Structure 1
Amino acid sequence: MLTYTPPESRALEKTHEKPWLLLLLVFAWLWPGVFSHDLWNPAEPQVYAAVAHFLDGGRAWVPEVLGAPYFKVSPVYVWAAAGFQTALSPWAADAYSASRFATVLFTALGLAACGMAGYRFLGRHQGRSVVLILIGCAGMVANGHFLSGISVEFAALGLCLYGFSLAQTRVIMASLLLGSGWALLSLSAGWPVAAALMLMALTLPVSPLWRVKRYYITLIGALAVALPLISAYPFALYHTDAAALTQWRQQYLWGIFGGSTTFQTAFSLPYYLKNLLWFAFPAWPLAIWTASRLKLWQERWGVLALAWLLFIGLLLAASPGRYQNHLLWLLPPLALLGAARLDGLRRGAAAFINWFGIMAFGLLAAFLWLGFFAMNYGWPAKLAERSAYFSPYYTPDINIMPMVVALSFTPVWLWAITRKHIKGRQAVTNWAAGTTLVWALMMTLFLPWLDAAKSYRPVVAQMAAALPDDIRNGGHCINIDADAHAARLAWAQYSPLDLNTGHNCRYRLVQTPLHSTAPQGWQTVWQGARPRNKTEGFALWKKAS
């Protein structure tokens, strides 16, 4: 007798995919760059100073750097970094590495949320594809590993996307995710970004696909969660530090547009479109492919992605500040669009992405291995010469553990790219594996070389070696200008000297353009700068007798 089995009751088709391999790849991608290096510019010294101040008894709601409120990092990130440093340092990791665990936490949370959103919107395989596309994007690499509050923004965006995917099925969970995502976004990226996504949520019912009762209930619940949480920050500032609240209102109230006294706009669309080409590759070509194959306005996720790109795109286009990291706000919808039709990618297009990734990452990996031999063994000589030019403070440093890690990544990547019958998902997997390989090689083979070029420690050590005997013996103090932020942060981290911000010392440490001369009445004792930095230098001056 013929019987009918409803589609939702049929057994799922067997698959040869191994989800644990995705987890292994993401795990391998997350950790290189977290350990064994100093604080690198531009954000790490300031963020770490805020974490250190909080651990020394600073206020929970007002991160401080050099005695002044620092609103460029979310308090949530400072709390998490301080917690990891307290729990893990020094027995499991140094203080810098332990603090970077906060970035790993928020990045992993964002990836998991975006992956679950892809699963809910597109199906069981596409959620993995969303994650693979994200970790394959160049813009995610540095933002997902260093001390920076941008990882909190990514986590908040992931929560929002996941909340939207549940809005018509699990109302309570969706309300909590959306509300907490908006609140976290307002505390990390500024409330205009959160307001843009909230306004987008209110306009989604323009499409009949979102004009359902459950979505309206979700909206009400999400606003009920978000609005009290968003208002908690200025309320806490009001009751803990009225002066900080005034500064926040005057300079940071409008987020990327400034504050009440510094508000401004500009036309930045060309800048962001130009940088999106590398920042969001391969997400944007795959998103264009999906748009060419489907009528996006006929899909619930398509309407959401288009609205997201429109609202955030308008916000970026009017932004007066031009920061590449802000393009991270566009990655979740682009990855969602890119994953939607990945299985339908033509074999020729998939082969091209795979071939291009193999050639690009293979050549980069070969160059990194060659560069490693050049900077440590002097061969090839020309490459060794260029290596010394860009990082002159580096001394050959070969550690067995980084070598083991680098040697283990290379054959795994070679195994991945030799698979046959490459389709869209396999091509994206190989791309993500190539990104992971190159990043891992850079953060193992090249880590000491990069650290010598990007850290302030060698510069501080140079000045320490040049100090006159009267300073070594404690006979004289060193004055430093209060607005020399980079110098104050660097010497606070890497020097035991107690620098004085007064004006009564015989010696003076200044942050000045490179090769500048001392003013009348002063003599230059020492000058230095990080390698190839033509705009920022440091000098120690001595008052003429």
Structure 2
Amino acid sequence: MSFRVNWKWCCFALLALWFWPSFAPHDPWKPDESYILGLVYEYTLRDNWLVPMLSGEPFMEKPPLFFWTAAGFSRYVFTWLPVHTAARLAAAFYIALTFIFAALAAGQFAARSRAKDPSQAAWLTAILLAGTLGLVGNGHHILTDSALFASFAIALYAFSVFPQWPLASGLLMGTAWGMAFLTKGLLGPGCLGLAALLLPIVDHPYRKKAYLLTLSIALLAALPWWLIWPWRLWLASPELFHTWFWVNNLGRFLGENNLGPEYEHGFYLKILPWHAFPLILYLPVLFFRHRLDAFKNAAPAALLCLLTYTILSLAKTSMELYAVPAVVAFAVWMGAQASSVPAAFERRFGLVALCLLAISALLVWWAWAALYFGLPLQARLLHFLPGFAEKLNWLGMLSALALTIIVWNLAWRAPQWAKHQGAVRWLAVLVMSYGLVFSLLLPGLNYSKSYKPMMLDLASQLDKTQCLASFGLGEHERGNFHYYTTMRVERFEIGRGKECPQLLIQGSAMPANIGEYSLLKKTTRATDKSEEFSVWRKI
């Protein structure tokens, strides 16, 4: 009994430390945090939460579930924290749900395949998912997609409990469809719904009449999520409903507008080796041992993974973030077969990961020492951080030292308590690397990425009681400017702000036929001279 408690607690410790960067105190960073925070900030300022707004202007790119959650965290739960910190905790909340429900689903699938210890599959799934590069690269930021990840994990758990609890399965499935819809629109529930319809073809337990009842319950459970907000939006403004539903959902998927990243043929196959690492290592190992049975042991997860990658490949926009929900299904698929992973594979993978752990820790500590104590690397680092003069953060240094000792001990002793030492040690690599970077190098990173000093400098030249027009200001910059200065802008691009006595411009172009303005200040960020900002006053 003590052995089980020990190894589970060690896994839990690594998973808890995975969230270390999510609690790191830093400003919102581009590309996504800035404009998402701007939307969340608007919700904290008003009581009507129907229409997402960015700097006082409707912004219909995404449904509002994540914005509601983050604003609720800020207004009602973590009222003493800055809005951006509360929003980051909302993202961490959804990531935690993703880990929990993915692990529960894998445990259920393992139990169905008569595994000796289903809990081993559950813990391995959480460890693999937390260690997947595609998730760890996106999981520590303010992203609406974090709620979509959770919806896929909940849907997989719903599939896994169907044979035992058809009613609960339907309720969970409908909730997952609804969450996916109110997070990103049609793509998420499309993938989940299609997987639910095709599942009886590939897996025998779902060919029962009870499954039809489960799907019916799921549909009823999803309807409130699907209908209430869109119906209220349509009643309030058919134009905004059209912009959201047709332009930002179907139009983006079909490539009928210029929204989103450009389509790249074979994009998801190209990123798969690193984006799904280390899951991609486990796939050939399990396939070699079980052939087609590798697809049957967790058929819903395998189907959802392959289906999501296929549907994404048909879309006319491509972005690595879009593939993370498929990674959630991939982790459940691989983790559910934990007992089949050869010990020799885990030992070799674990040895490589242990070497990488030592190297990554040494590199980050060396970079920190160089930055603050003048080691040879300092000049190269300061080349990317001109003007950086932050004092040494002793609290960050002590917490990083504690993190190094704890994670190294867990990884070094992994063979004594973890059968899957390779997955555990790889997770330790990422926990150590991200944790040290967000402890030791956070001041430099924040100095490089933050817009706060520049925005406050520009605002010091402006009168907050007067209207402010803008030209060329991107959605990220609008969100940042409003959050830091509390000033909303009136965009010339959409025919507003012509009567404003003040003007904020991003770039060097000046709008035509706006009258005479005198320059008050022109500036750039210290680490990015290509982005020029200026403020003007009407003569």
TM class by shorter chain equals 0.7 to 0.9
Q: How does 1:88-237 map to 2 (within 5 A)?
A: 88-89=77-78, 91=80, 93-122=81-110, 123-207=118-202, 208-237=204-233
In the aligned structure 2, how far is the partner of 1:453 from the partner of 1:136? 26
Cα 1:338–1:393 shift into 2, 3 Å: farther
Conserved 8 A contact 2:66-2:144: yes
Task: Please give the secondary structure, in 1, of the residue aligned with 2:534.
Answer: strand
Residue from 346, 356, 361 that aligns with 2:352: 356
Aligned to 1:392: 386
Conserved 8 A contact 1:287-1:334: no
Task: Point out the more displaced range, 109-118 or 224-233.
Answer: 224-233
Q: Within the alignment, does 1:56 sit opposite 2:50 as a pair?
A: no
Conserved 8 A contact 1:33-1:443: no
Cα 1:387–1:316 shift into 2, 3 Å: same
Task: Point out the more displaced range, 305-314 or 362-371.
Answer: 305-314
TM-score by length of 1: 0.86
1:234 Cα offset (Å)? 1.8
1:393 Cα offset (Å)? 4.5
1:300 Cα offset (Å)? 4.5
Conserved 8 A contact 1:192-1:255: no
Aligned residue pairs: how many?
Answer: 523
Paired AA for residue 481 in structure 2: W
Cα 1:395–1:374 shift into 2, 3 Å: same
Aligned to 2:329: 333
Aligned to 2:435: 440
1:152 Cα offset (Å)? 0.4
Aligned to 1:8: none
Paired AA for residue 510 in structure 1: I
Cα 1:95–1:497 shift into 2, 3 Å: closer
Residue from 475, 491, 494 that aligns with 2:484: 494
Paired AA for residue 166 in structure 2: V
Paired AA for residue 271 in structure 1: F
TM-score by length of 2: 0.87
Q: How does 1:140-539 map to 2 (within 5 A)?
A: 140-207=135-202, 208-254=204-250, 256-257=252-253, 268=264, 270-296=266-292, 300-380=296-376, 383-419=377-413, 421=415, 425-461=420-456, 463=458, 479-481=469-471, 484-495=474-485, 502-503=497-498, 508-512=503-507, 526-530=521-525, 533=528, 536-539=531-534
Paired AA for residue 217 in structure 1: L
Gaps of 5+ in 2: 111-117, 492-496
In the aligned structure 2, how far is the partner of 1:152 from the partner of 1:39? 19
Q: Cα RMSD between the aligned structures?
A: 3.3
> Which protein has greater RCO, CA pairs closer than 8 Å, 6+ apart?
2
1:455 Cα offset (Å)? 0.8
In the aligned structure 2, how far is the partner of 1:390 from the partner of 1:69? 37
Gaps of 5+ in 1: 1-11
1:20 Cα offset (Å)? 2.5
Cα 1:362–1:525 shift into 2, 3 Å: farther
- 1:10-64 residue CA offsets vs partner (Å, 9 max, x unmatched): xx99747532222222221123233411111112121122122112225323211
1:524 Cα offset (Å)? 6.2
Conserved 8 A contact 1:286-1:337: no
Cα 1:225–1:378 shift into 2, 3 Å: same
- 1:239-274 residue CA offsets vs partner (Å, 9 max, x unmatched): 333332122233124275169878999864521122
1:337 Cα offset (Å)? 2.7
In the aligned structure 1, how far is the partner of 2:146 from the partner of 2:465? 46
Task: Please give the secondary structure, in 2, of the residue aligned with 1:285.
Answer: helix
Conserved 8 A contact 1:248-1:259: no
- 1:488-543 residue CA offsets vs partner (Å, 9 max, x unmatched): 33332334777665345676431116xx7999987766443345547533234577
